[in-house]
Amino acid sequence: MAEETFDNAPIGVFDSGVGGLTVARTIVDQLPHESIIYVGDTAHSPYGDKPLEQVREFSQAIADDLVARGCKMIVIACNSASAAFAAEAEQRYDVPVIPVILPAVKRAVATTRNGKVGVIGTTATVESGEYLRTFQSHTEPENIRDVEVFSEACPLFVPFVERGITTGRQILGLTENYLEPLKAADVDTVVLGCTHYPLLSGVVQLVMGPEVTLVSSAEETAKTVYRTLSETGKLADTDPVREVSLSFESTGDPARFAALATRFLGPAITSVSHIPEALR
């Protein structure tokens, strides 16, 4: 029997800010023995309203640094960054790159019953067309029907989540307005195409109805991380005495990052390091 191998190098996770912590949290839940370096690019946040080329530049700088620091995998925990940089990143680095778009698309294709899928995301993510292209390239030819994709930008969802407003009449009305086209299209599956949006899954489900399945890009990405590490023999040692490191870094104000991060990851974050000027 071959000797089991382990790789205790950290997983690098990055996002434009704190939304990607929904991905990091799910990774921690599913893989508690893995060390993580999380970078929130709050100096340039949000990515959702910026040109994709600029988002690509920001993403490359952070990913280059994470790879240089020895990360065994890069998780692009941001839909806008995934749209702008994932394809290039997969060619640029020798370590696995896991974007948030593809895992969600695969789950939505497997889940939909009527072939009508809604995608909600930031303006940049929706306008990039990356979800539509990914659906088109990952719909199996033997499917009886093609998957029809209906995309809606929900630009105000992120500031609401970051203000801690996930319930109440105001967010309900906004959600009803945003999702009306998806309801009219009779979608039976909705992809939460922004890592902030799992915190709004309650109100989205309420508006769409119990018969509609929600697909979380954060949840599906964490599953892909687990599967990839397992298949490549890169899982960390499960020895309980081995120290696991969870590092959280911000390119902007670390105090503001920490305050926002408690809404996504809970009070476990006690300190946040500041990223050097060169990475801003």
Annotated binding site: 15-16, 47-48, 79-80, 195-196
Phi-psi region of 246 (alpha: psi -120 to 50; beta: other; left: phi over 0): beta
Q: In a 3-state reduction of DSSP, which class is residue 268?
A: coil
Does the annotation mark 78 as catalytic? yes
> Which of 36, 108, 194, 236 is labelled catalytic?
194
Residues at the binding site for substrate are 15-16, 47-48, 79-80, 195-196
- Which residue shows structure tokens 């382990």? 6
User: What is the Cα–Cα distance from 54 to 152, expressed in whole angstroms?
Assistant: 22
Radius of gyration over every alpha carbon of the chain, rounded to an integer in angstroms: 18
Contact (CB, 8 A) for 215 and 108 = yes
Place of tokens 């390239």: 137
Is 71 catalytic? The answer is no
For 101-118, b/e burial (b = at least 16 CB within 10 A) is: bbbbbbbbbeebeebbbb
In the set 37, 78, 108, 272, the catalytic residue is: 78
- E strand intervals along 32-126: 36-40, 73-76, 97-99, 116-121
**Which residues have a catalytic role annotated?**
78, 194
